[in-house]
Amino acid sequence: MDGIKSYILRNQLRPGDPLPTEPALCEALGASRSSVREAIRILTALDIVEVRHGHGTYVGRLSLSALVESLAFRGLLSPDDDFQVMSDLVEVRELFERGMAERLVESLDDEQIDRLDALVDEMRRAGSGEGRGFVETDRAFHTLLLAPLGNDLIGQLSSAFWDVYVIVAPHLDVFTHEHETATIANHQRIVDAVRGRDAREFAAALTDHYAPVRRRIAEARARR
């Protein structure tokens, strides 16, 4: 595994670039065919390598899919861990957004703010049974909110946390119609703060947005 990763780094390969054939890798690494196959199998699970049957082996997308799988499984496996995973995810998401408050308020342009506003309207329609799913729209809102940072790692981590959130949340029974109503109101407040270029109000709106979620998770955990 280390040899294949070193090969990718030495040759400055990028996601989607082809890797040598299995015999060539065996020769280059001084490893047996079974060892190379096992290494490729593990690296494929980590999304470092991608095997395209009939075409060859390529550098993978290098996504955080392994992190998503691990966190989601941990949350589903243990009655205690599921609430801890949700609590951790909420905290990290809030840290991302509040920590970047000033940059986000300065960076979001008028078109992006209008799109955020449109997503809040779509959340209202979803809450009444129209439009696309509420959670999907919520995710699109926060993805767009972070987009101006141009930070691929933050974008990947945020997406990974949403993936885990969507998998684990339905098993916790902590979300109600009242939650949706409050969420819509807080998202509108976030948009209004950004439109007014008010970083302090933006950060306060985020705090108020995440506080009820934390409370509901704590209450559901106490009932458990």
Cβ count within 10 A of residue 214:
14
Say what the pLDDT of residue 104 is: 93
All domains in the chain, ordered by first residue: 2-59 (1.10.10.10), 65-223 (1.20.120.530)
Which residue stretches of the chain have pLDDT < 70?
Answer: 68-69, 71-82, 127-132, 168-178, 224
Say what the pLDDT of residue 10 is: 92
Residue with tokens 């599921």: 82
Query: Residues 89-127: pLDDT tens digits?
Result: 788 888 888 889 999 999 999 999 999 999 999 999 886
Cβ count within 10 A of residue 174:
19
Cβ count within 10 A of residue 24:
11
CA distance 135 to 132: 9
User: At 28, which amino acid appears?
Assistant: A
List C-alpha distances in Å: 205 to 53, 143, 200: 49, 17, 9
Per-position b or e across 52-74, b if 16+ CB within 10 A of its CB? eeeeebbbbeeebbebbeebbee
- Are 50 and 60 within 8 A, CB to CB? yes
Q: Which long-range contacts (CB under 8 A, 24 or more apart) does 46-53 make?
A: 48/5, 48/8, 49/4, 49/19
- Are 38 and 44 within 8 A, CB to CB? no
CA distance 164 to 106: 30
Say what the pLDDT of residue 110 is: 95
- Residue 186: both structure tokens together: 């807080």
Query: Residues 63-99: pLDDT tens digits?
Result: 777 776 676 666 666 656 667 777 887 888 888 888 8
| β partners of residue 52 | 56
**Alpha-carbon torsion 188, 194, 195, 197, what sign?**
positive
